[in-house]
Structure 1
Amino acid sequence: MTLLHPHSGQPLQLRLARDLTRAVKRGHPWVYADALRQLPPASPGTQAVLLDNKKGREIGRGFYDPHSPLALRICTTEPGETLNDRWAQKRFERALALRRMLFDGRTTGFRLFNGEGDGLPGLIADVYDDTAVLQLDGAGPAGFWDAAGIAGWLAQALALRCVYERGERGRSEGKSLVGNIPAAPVVFLENGVRFAVDIVRGQKTGFFLDQRDNRQKVRELAAGRRVLNLFGYTGGFSVYAGLGGASQVTTVDIAAPALVAAQANWELNELSSTGHETVAADAFEFLAGAAASQRFWDLVVVDPPSFASSKAAVPKAIAAYQKLIAAAAAVTQPDGLLAVASCSSHVGLEAFLSACEEGISLARRRATVLHLGGQPADHPTPLALPEFRYLKFVLMRVE
């Protein structure tokens, strides 16, 4: 089986327009178009050698997409290392070894390939029990990686029944590469908790695996508390809260089908149906109504979608976070807990903490930070690539 699309001839040569050698050598794998002297025509995914801006020496190898702002993704900085199936298989095996170290049979849903974090630029693979979902991040990765061959490797290495490739975000439909598309949601375990995932229609690859550790933190704190889960999707935080002994859990999401799945996940874990309320509503409108009717919760979880898809959107995103945090603080009991997440890579931790501070102030409350969370270990990030550490999770006690 082939893991990379066939490459004939010598790799394309690209030369830096400015001195980024140190950054590349330290492990930053992205070279933007404006950092290259020229953008020669080539098919997305074409293999390329990167030369430094001073003496024209090779400093890395990767694949090139002249049509993308992210023109070159570095795969290796080892001099003369060839990008071929043997190279890819070594990277795959290294990624698999890490997950086998991290997880036992209590967790059968995890990220196997986290793109640049595993030295596999633009390649995502999430495993849900006997099913895997592949995702290629754009035309460059699609032209470099052989999705069908990778699916075969995954099926063989993990004894999978199905490998499904998600289409490019909102632009194309997905397809099965191995086996039949599951007729029903796939059930998997996370820390012994059971969830059912729709790999075809669900968000991302079907489930937000990156919140695993933060869900566990909520479980540890939920006993005897009334819990509100905003932007609840299919109920991940809600189920953990229920299993942690919450006295009552309310899940709010604007999408009614997601709430049906949330209730199904609640029942899948044999939790009492009377302990879970679902509300199909806009989170901002729900919070306004709850504050007006003097409803309060002991633990409030706020996990919104990304508010900043680009750097230009950051000011509006910060304002939205502040407004949301203020509204959530307003329905948090005195000395209650408020957990707020941001999944935008364009909003750094310090900026997000500042938004939390301003939001709490707008609610005329004060708060203490109890815990800062982020991505779990199966979402590794290069030390030299802070942009990859997108997830922030701030747990506060609100006075």
Structure 2
Amino acid sequence: MVDILLKKGKEKAVLQRHPWIFSGAIDKIKGKTANGDLVCVRSAKHDFLAYGFYNAESRVALRLLSWDQSQLPNEDWLRQKIGTAVKNRAHLLSAANNTCRLIFSESDFLPGLIVDQFADYLSVQILTTGMDRLKPIIIDELQKQTGAKGIFDKSDNSARAHDGLEDAKGLLWGQMPPEFVEVKENGIVYRINIADGQKSGFYCDQRVNREVVARYAKDKSVLDCFCYSGGFTLNAFAQGAKAVTSVDSSALAIETLKQNMALNNFDTNAHQAIQNDVNKQLRTFKEDGKTFDLIVLDPPKYAPSRSALDRAARAYKDLNRLGMQLLEKGGLLATFSCSGAVDIETFKQIIAWAALDADKEVQIIHQFTQPEDHPLRSSFPEGEYLKGLLCRIC
């Protein structure tokens, strides 16, 4: 195994068990190594620090796996980590909830590996070269641990390009998922498209938050923005919403939402689905004098990195300002950010700016986060990406 020596003083984060080492921290590579190789990371004094995957093409040149010199990350190690992650989620799966995230990359000590379960099928994203080379073992162990009918590769994520990998998509094992797979979340049925849906096929990270928001929906008029397949919409109807308007720019999302409404026998006469850019539609609602009792804003990632933070902050502020202007006194705004670069304190400040611009007073009455199948590893704060606020207009 090749040794990689860090520059003097660059071992601090490694000793704190952070799983990333950037290329600028590397001093010497003692031998020849290829992208995806397992290497031994040592301090400038040649002391053992960790084992990890190396990739010369990535800004994150080393993704660390084990800090115990006696625990070599071999096949048995990999199978054990996969098994532990799956077992830790077993209590989340039931007749009312048959979808969740089984493996969450660095937070489950498996950098670059994301696995979601959708009923009898698994959707896998492999985003790093090291994990990509271990794909046969990963697929074999997932099949053993879950008994899935089929395992589908959804590694068409732009993150693969950072590791010099091309997109990968297609059946990895077993049966090809049908065009639509029916899953249950919070007792609600969804038809999801694993092959062509966004990300891994369905956003199971909002499971708990959808349920919480829906508790406030009874007898209210609700606006669900960036609705995708209708998670917040359907939960609102399940809790007795008077009427729901759903907005998304994707025609496929709107069509899938309509199918999900019919699947659950919700009142389609109380539902309006609009395919349009959300910001444009919010301005149209304002021009028409339209107001709502409860608004959900769940936009895509505006800040993919810290360099985009200023631009993203302006986008979040404008979006929330528009939303607040459509709420009367006592109205509720459930607003979210899935940008890891935007921490919760920054997000609160953005909401404060939006309230000032909208000439509104706001109380924060609940704080949202990601559910337990998206755990936060104490040594890896970057794993905390989803945050949100439930605000009351005063």
Tell me the equivalent position of 1:51.
42
Tell me the equivalent position of 2:338.
343
User: Deviation digits for residues 150-198 of structure 1, max 9, x if unmatched?
Assistant: 2222222212111001133265351101123223211111122211211
Report the Cα offset of residue 390 of structure 1. 0.7
Please give the root-mean-square deviation of Cα atoms over the aligned residues, in Å: 1.5
Which one-letter code corresponds to 2:36 in the other structure?
Answer: G
Report the Cα offset of residue 43 of structure 1. 2.2
Report the Cα offset of residue 216 of structure 1. 0.9
Tell me the equivalent position of 1:384.
379
Tell me the equivalent position of 1:25.
15
Contact 1:349–1:392 under 8 Å retained in 2: yes
Q: Tell me how far apart the structure 1 counterparts of residues 261 and 11 of structure 2 sit (CA, whole Å).
A: 51
Contact 1:27–1:382 under 8 Å retained in 2: no
Tell me the equivalent position of 2:141.
153
Q: Tell me how far apart the structure 1 counterparts of residues 78 and 155 of structure 2 sit (CA, whole Å).
A: 22
Among 234, 253, 262, which residue is 1:239 paired with?
A: 234
Which one-letter code corresponds to 2:201 in the other structure?
Answer: G
2:121 corresponds to 1:131 = yes
Report the Cα offset of residue 255 of structure 1. 0.9
Which one-letter code corresponds to 1:36 in the other structure?
Answer: I
Report SS of the residue matched to 1:327: helix
Tell me the equivalent position of 2:88.
98
Report SS of the residue matched to 2:347: helix
Report the Cα offset of residue 78 of structure 1. 1.1
Report the Cα offset of residue 202 of structure 1. 0.7
Among 295, 301, 308, which residue is 1:306 paired with?
A: 301
Which one-letter code corresponds to 1:95 in the other structure?
Answer: A
Report the Cα offset of residue 103 of structure 1. 3.5
2:26 corresponds to 1:36 = yes
Which one-letter code corresponds to 2:25 in the other structure?
Answer: A
Q: What are the equivalent positions in structure 2 for 1:155-170 lying under 5 Å apart? A: 155-169=143-157
Contact 1:41–1:66 under 8 Å retained in 2: no
Report SS of the residue matched to 2:255: helix
User: Deviation digits for residues 310-329 of structure 1, max 9, x if unmatched?
Assistant: 22111110011111110000
User: Deviation digits for residues 292-343 of structure 1, max 9, x if unmatched?
Assistant: 1110111100011111122211111001111111000001121110011111
Structure 1 gap ranges (5+):
1-10
Q: Tell me how far apart the structure 2 counterparts of residues 66 and 379 of structure 1 sit (CA, whole Å).
A: 29
- With the length of structure 2 as denominator, give the TM-score of the two structures: 0.94
Q: Tell me how far apart the structure 2 counterparts of residues 303 and 147 of structure 1 sit (CA, whole Å).
A: 33
Contact 1:229–1:251 under 8 Å retained in 2: yes
Q: What are the equivalent positions in structure 2 for 1:161-310 lying under 5 Å apart? A: 161-169=149-157, 172-310=167-305
Q: Tell me how far apart the structure 2 counterparts of residues 184 and 239 of structure 1 sit (CA, whole Å).
A: 21
Which one-letter code corresponds to 2:212 in the other structure?
Answer: K
Tell me the equivalent position of 1:6.
none
* Identical amino acids, percent of aligned pairs: 30
Report the Cα offset of residue 18 of structure 1. 4.1
Among 367, 373, 381, which residue is 1:372 paired with?
A: 367
Tell me the equivalent position of 2:161.
none
- With the length of structure 1 as denominator, give the TM-score of the two structures: 0.93
Which one-letter code corresponds to 2:156 in the other structure?
Answer: E
User: Deviation digits for residues 364-393 of structure 1, max 9, x if unmatched?
Assistant: 001000111111000112112111101111
Which one-letter code corresponds to 1:139 in the other structure?
Answer: T
Report SS of the residue matched to 1:73: strand
- Assess, with a 3 A threshold, how the Cα gap between structure 1 residues 103 and 26 changes in structure 2: closer, same or farther: farther
Which one-letter code corresponds to 2:27 in the other structure?
Answer: R
Q: Tell me how far apart the structure 1 counterparts of residues 105 and 203 of structure 2 sit (CA, whole Å).
A: 16
Contact 2:50–2:66 under 8 Å retained in 1: yes
- Assess, with a 3 A threshold, how the Cα gap between structure 1 residues 17 and 188 changes in structure 2: closer, same or farther: same
**Residues paired across the two proteins, number:** 386
Which one-letter code corresponds to 2:326 in the other structure?
Answer: V
Report SS of the residue matched to 2:240: coil
Report SS of the residue matched to 2:155: coil
Q: Which runs of 4+ in 1 moved over 4 A?
A: none
- Assess, with a 3 A threshold, how the Cα gap between structure 1 residues 22 and 102 changes in structure 2: closer, same or farther: farther
2:358 corresponds to 1:363 = yes
Contact 2:122–2:150 under 8 Å retained in 1: yes
- Assess, with a 3 A threshold, how the Cα gap between structure 1 residues 206 and 18 changes in structure 2: closer, same or farther: farther
